[in-house]
Amino acid sequence: MDYLFSNIITIVIFLPLAGAIILIFFPKDKTNLIKNFAFLVSIATFILSLFLYSGYDELSPEMQFVVNLAWLREFGSSYHVGIDGISLFMVILTTFLTPISILSSYNYIKEKEKEYYISLLLLETGMNGVFVALDMLLFYLFWEAMLIPMYIIIGVWGGPRRIYAAVKFFIYTMIGSVLMLVAILVIYFLHQKQTGIYSFNIFDFYNTSIPAEYQLLMFLAFALAFAIKVPMFPFHTWLPDAHVEAPTAGSVILAGVLLKMGVYGFIRFAVPLFPEVALELAPYIALLGVIGIIYGSLVAWSQQDVKKLVAYSSVAHLGAVMLGLFSYNVAGVEGAILQMVNHGLSTGALFLLVGMLYERRHTRMIDDYGGIARVVPVFSAFFMIVMLSSIGLPGLNGFVGEFLILFGAFQRFPVLAILGVSGVILSAVYMLSMYQRVVFGKLVHEENKKMKDVNLREWLYMLPVLIMIVFIGLYPSPFLKKMEVSVKQYLTYTLKNAQIQKIQPPVENKMEKEIQE
Amino acid sequence: MIEIVEKLNLASISVPLIILIVSLWVLIGSVLLPVEKRHFTGIISFFGLIASLLYLWGIKDADITGFGNAVSLNGFSIFLWFIILAITLSVISVSQRFVEDAEIQQGEYNFFLLIATTGLLFIVASQDLIMIFISLEILSLSVYILAGIRRTSAGAESALKYFILGSLGAGMLVMGIALIYGSTGTVNISMLKILLQRVDKTPVLLAGIIFVVSGLAFKVALVPFHMWVPDVYEGSPTPVSGFMAGGVKAGGVIALLRVFNALPFEPYSELFWWLSAITMITGNLMALPQTSIKRILAYSSVAHAGYMMIGFLGGESGAGAVIFYIIVYAASTMGAFFVVMLLERMETGTTLEDIAGLSKRHPYLSAVMAVFLFSLAGIPPLAGFFGKFYIFASAVAQGYTGLVIIGVIMSVVSLYYYLRIIVAMYMEETVIELIPREYKSVRFVVFILMLISILFGLLSDPVISSARAVVKYLM
């Protein structure tokens, strides 16, 4: 049992892969069996990942559950995984959303079911791997490998323009990451020259001193890869296409987890590797974040398609996350991480709800609905809660994250924070007006009168999300506590290293104090 | 007489000799056997290859030279002989039924394939330029015939084009060798390596080197010597195209690598820098508008030669990476050609339209093809990624970051045309109901190649270590 427990990370990563391999041998026409098997595998993964949560020692800043096995010996690359208070939440978010998206696909996916569930399980392995890898090569491997199943999910089971969207998604994200690969190699050889040891260990990378003239370029190589994934304005153009064309589960995973990989990349790699460049560029990145908030909200406001609206709202939310992350204080970073989880829950849920609408009426246009509150009251109530959480209504999860982000950002970039607040207002504008036009008003369309309300399966996958939305909103402290030590460690590290090599601006002294408190 | 034979040290060419003898048996068989029993020639070739692989396993620690230092049997040649024999074995195994159905003379086909293999085996073992030239010609002449062995107009065109341009390349190569010999007085590669550092760079010597490099560039199909590739790959019988992309290219690359290592690093590395860059750029861009799958794969093979050239600049670890790349690239590209072979109509080849919607009817074939294509595109965790990764890493270590950036950007470009094939198979509606051939042996070989394309990357530790160990003999 101890052995199992110490390798629980490995099991959480590879259990879905094992499930996918077993699925290959299932007969093609036994679709119920395939669905249920995939669901069981993902639920089992989720339950196992809860052991990570319960076993995580929140007082220790070290990586936990570490497994380090030799892999490519000559290159110094190893199978090295572990979690801290930041990746913990990302992993659990992944394992939480995967069974939900599998359950939501039961009726939506009607052809090539076997391949579909295989792709989803492979995707889960890739995503978990990205969040726990502590070896640069291993990280890159998962980071890229995950593109294949996502590409296939969008391209095969997507909407009418799915091919365009899938190819765009794949090539766009690939361009960003290949340059990162070159930067990884450069650091790898720098480290080898400095110490004589070949190693892809992320902590060895942290300790490599990089000549000042390369730093900016290499930071940009990393930042481009992650900024495309986030997606930060102006690298967001793949997102609306991919979101709109992807099947519901694809959108849920895309919004819920994939976008987080970009932000996570900044936290784990781009910022700690180049602390001083990151600090120097922080205002610009934060500015891009704020532009993302305002631009995303304005574009979302003008959408006629509910799914597109939700997709653009993602751009806005992730802009806020970047603003919080680059304000370099505990509140901002904790808010950013919590907001990633919140966004995964509420935007994921919004996509699920849009998917339910689409399954019933085969349209996503706002004008095709109206007044459905009377026909589908439970659905409308769900929609209401989720929508309010996305806006950031106090008492629901969105509020906590946004508040922390704006609170943190205000201390460092007051002007940007004030502009960022407008995002909250704008999100209320577009969300409420969309909700009003879809749910309230007169029931104009004859077809809508026969809409069925939420069924048992839908209850089953919506309820956990709703519970989490309310729970985090009312009582976020257990989550914040788990991540606190890691966040402080991250900030101390990035700020300290930025100071060693540069005379720091006065702002940072204040923050140092704040961290020590 | 016996003394002379002893001096020659026949043991150093034992494996090519075995293949030669097998090929003669095949030739005799193809004449004497009645037409309906000619498939025995395939069986003879198959077991001959298996036997030589076993024999090779037995002598895997040998280190001898023969023929007055023209040939050497050492770790390097043994390692590459394994690869080459495996390549031929897979081509022979997939071709038999196809050759029968295409009404190609089975005996001749197998004979020339084995002779080409003999040439390949000699190339990787040769220690001097004359030997390289002769073995390249043994290889090329048999492949010219193989290209046109199906007597259609496309086959004839392809053979003639290949022959004329290939002869031009051979002419340049032999001319270059003559000029180098005239300036230095030797054709032995290790001697040249020492001499070239010392002698003056006369225009004659420079011209000789340029000629040799260009001649070999023809064989490897580096841009601008690649014009024959798309037509020849398209017109040849598909297993032969696979052999060209996997085997012939490997032989050319090894010959070029030997010559490159003999040259002083400056200023010739710059020549290879440019060759690599334009090959990657042209190969990948030209593949974009193609609609015939064989042509896409042909241009992709041009581009991959460009990636391999990056490894040349990466020093010893780069050479090891090139060897590793040859293995994974051969597995993926031959696999792709073999799948195409199962799908194609005899005369017209396979277009993107033909395979549209393939995954619905033939999920296994499409999945396998997708694995090969993703591996060629270099997407982790497939073997192709590790091939590129090792090559890029070795070049970055030597400071060629600029070239590597071109390489990675071109890999993204290449992704587009590989995706086009996958899009057609998985995401488009069926246009033509293709009925794939039911060749059991091909399915088996393709399955093995798929396993290599998936697992050789993740479990690449032993392979890359031994590849790096054997290139020490080159340096």
Averaged in consecutive runs of 10 residues, what is the pLDDT profile of chain B (475 residues)?
Answer: 74 89 91 85 92 90 82 90 95 90 87 95 92 94 91 87 93 94 89 86 90 93 90 91 93 93 85 93 93 93 94 91 95 94 77 86 89 93 92 92 93 92 88 81 92 90 89 84
> How far, in Å, CA of B252 to CA of B467, rounded?
18
Cβ neighbours for A504, distance < 8 A, ≥ 6 positions apart:
A279, A495, A498
Give the pLDDT of residue B154.
Answer: 84
> How far, in Å, CA of A66 to CA of B243, rounded?
46
Closest B-chain CA to A140: B380
Q: Residue B466: left if φ>0, alpha if ψ -120 to 50, beta else—which one?
A: alpha
Whether the CB of B465 is below 8 Å from some CB of chain A: the reply is yes
Task: Measure CA B220 to chain center.
Answer: 8
- Map tokens 């084009």 to a residue: B161
A209 phi and psi angles, rounded to 5 deg: -90, 130
Residue A430: C-alpha distances to residues A291, A294, A299, A426 (Å): 17, 12, 9, 6
Task: Sort A2 into a burial class: Cβ within 10 Å, 0-12 / 13-18 / 19+.
Answer: exposed
DSSP secondary structure, B138-169, as one string: HHHHHHHHHHT-S-SHHHHHHHHHHHHHHHHH
| Band (A517; pLDDT cuts 50, 70, 90) | very low
Residue A145 has its nearest CB partner, among B360, B381, B460, at B381
DSSP secondary structure, B421-463, as one string: HHHHHHHS--SS-------HHHHHHHHHHHHHHHHHHHT-HHH
Considering only CA atoms, which of B192, B146, B140 is closest in space to residue B171?
B140
Do B419 and A152 lie within an 8 Å CB cutoff?
A: no
Whether the CB of B381 is below 8 Å from some CB of chain A: the reply is yes
> How far, in Å, CA of A510 to CA of B269, rounded?
54
Residue B427 has its nearest CB partner, among A28, A141, A163, at A163
CB B387 within 8 A of CB B329: yes
> How far, in Å, CA of A480 to CA of A492, rounded?
17
CB B376 within 8 A of CB A141: no
Question: Which contiguous run of DSSP H or E holds residue A97?
Answer: helix A87-104
Cβ neighbours for B327, distance < 8 A, ≥ 6 positions apart:
B83, B387, B452, B456, B463, B467
- Map tokens 């290959």 to a residue: A24
Q: What is the mean pLDDT of residues A64-78?
A: 87
pTM score, two decimals?
0.92
Cβ neighbours for B280, distance < 8 A, ≥ 6 positions apart:
B303, B306, B307, B406, B407, B410
Q: Which of helix, strand or coil describes residue B198?
A: helix
Whether the CB of B408 is below 8 Å from some CB of chain A: the reply is yes
Do B427 and A112 lie within an 8 Å CB cutoff?
A: no
Q: Does position A508 have pLDDT exceeding 60, yes or no?
A: no
Q: Which of helix, strand or coil describes residue B351?
A: strand
> How far, in Å, CA of A513 to CA of B314, rounded?
49
Distance from CA of A13 to the nearest CA of B (A): 15
First to last CA, chain B: 35
Chain A contact set for B397 (CB, 8 A) = 185, 189, 192
CB A218 within 8 A of CB A210: yes
Considering only CA atoms, which of B463, B434, B431, B311 is closest in space to residue B369?
B434
- Map tokens 């060798």 to a residue: B177
Of B222 and A451, which is predicted with more confidence? B222
Residue type, A124: E
Give the pLDDT of residue A516.
Answer: 46
Least confident piece of the model among A135-149, A332-346, A473-487, B344-358 = B344-358
Pairing of strands B64-66, A77-83: unpaired
Residue B151: CB atoms within 10 A of its CB come to 11
Residue B408 has its nearest CB partner, among A73, A156, A182, at A182
Interface of B with A in 96-155 (CB under 8 A): none
Considering only CA atoms, which of B374, B354, B331, B347 is closest in space to residue B436?
B354
Token pair of A213 as six digits:
């003239």
Do B385 and A144 lie within an 8 Å CB cutoff?
A: yes
Residue A155 has its nearest CB partner, among B416, B427, B460, at B427
Do B427 and A162 lie within an 8 Å CB cutoff?
A: yes
Do A115 and B401 lie within an 8 Å CB cutoff?
A: no
- Map tokens 């101390």 to a residue: A492
Chain B contact set for A162 (CB, 8 A) = 427
Least confident piece of the model among A365-379, A486-500, B79-93, B365-379 = A486-500
> How far, in Å, CA of A316 to CA of A296, rounded?
5
Residue A178 has its nearest CB partner, among B360, B409, B423, at B409
CB B163 within 8 A of CB B144: yes
Q: How wide is the angle at C-alpha A347 spanned by C-alphas A344 and A350, nearest 5°?
A: 140
Q: What is the mean pLDDT of residues A334-357?
A: 91
Chain A contact set for B426 (CB, 8 A) = 152, 155-156
DSSP secondary structure, A190-253, as one string: HHHHHHS----BHHHHHT----HHHHHHHHHHHHHHHHHHTTPTTS-THHHHHHHHS-HHHHHH
Do A182 and B412 lie within an 8 Å CB cutoff?
A: no
Q: Which of helix, strand or coil describes residue A155?
A: helix
Task: Sort B463 into a burial class: Cβ within 10 Å, 0-12 / 13-18 / 19+.
Answer: buried
B351 phi and psi angles, rounded to 5 deg: -110, 170
Token pair of B223 as six digits:
């841009």
Residue A385: C-alpha distances to residues A286, A365, A423, B428 (Å): 29, 21, 19, 39
Do A182 and B401 lie within an 8 Å CB cutoff?
A: yes
CB B127 within 8 A of CB B188: yes
User: If you count them, how many residues does chain A have?
Assistant: 517
- Map tokens 């199992």 to a residue: A4
Residue B278: C-alpha distances to residues A70, A99, B225, B286, B387 (Å): 38, 48, 11, 12, 20
Q: Does position A500 have pLDDT exceeding 70, yes or no?
A: no
Cis amide linkage into residue A272, ω under 30° from 0:
no
CB A134 within 8 A of CB A66: yes
What's B349's DSSP letter?
B
Token pair of A315 as six digits:
């751009």
> How far, in Å, CA of A362 to CA of A356, rounded?
9
| Band (A501; pLDDT cuts 50, 70, 90) | low
**DSSP collapsed to 3 states, A299-338:** HHHCCCEHHHHHHHHHHHHHHHHHHHHCCCCHHHHHHHHH
First to last CA, chain A: 40
What's A505's DSSP letter?
P
Least confident piece of the model among A38-47, A307-316, B139-148, B258-267 = B258-267
> How far, in Å, CA of B265 to CA of B258, rounded?
13
For the CA atoms of A265, A271, A274, A276, the dihedral, rounded to the nearest 10 degrees, stands at 160
**In chain A, pLDDT over 90 holds for what percent of residues?**
40
Give the pLDDT of residue B392.
Answer: 94
Q: Residue B189: left if φ>0, alpha if ψ -120 to 50, beta else—which one?
A: alpha
Of A441 and B194, which is predicted with more confidence? B194
B159 phi and psi angles, rounded to 5 deg: -65, -45
Whether the CB of B388 is below 8 Å from some CB of chain A: the reply is no
Give the pLDDT of residue A445.
Answer: 80
Whether the CB of B307 is below 8 Å from some CB of chain A: the reply is no
Token pair of A454 as six digits:
């939420």
> How far, in Å, CA of A352 to CA of A347, rounded?
8
CB B134 within 8 A of CB B29: no
| Helix B363-377 with B401-427: angle, nearest 10 deg | 170
pLDDT tens track for A136-187: 999 999 999 999 999 999 988 988 888 999 999 999 889 888 999 999 999 9
Residue B381 has its nearest CB partner, among A72, A112, A141, at A141
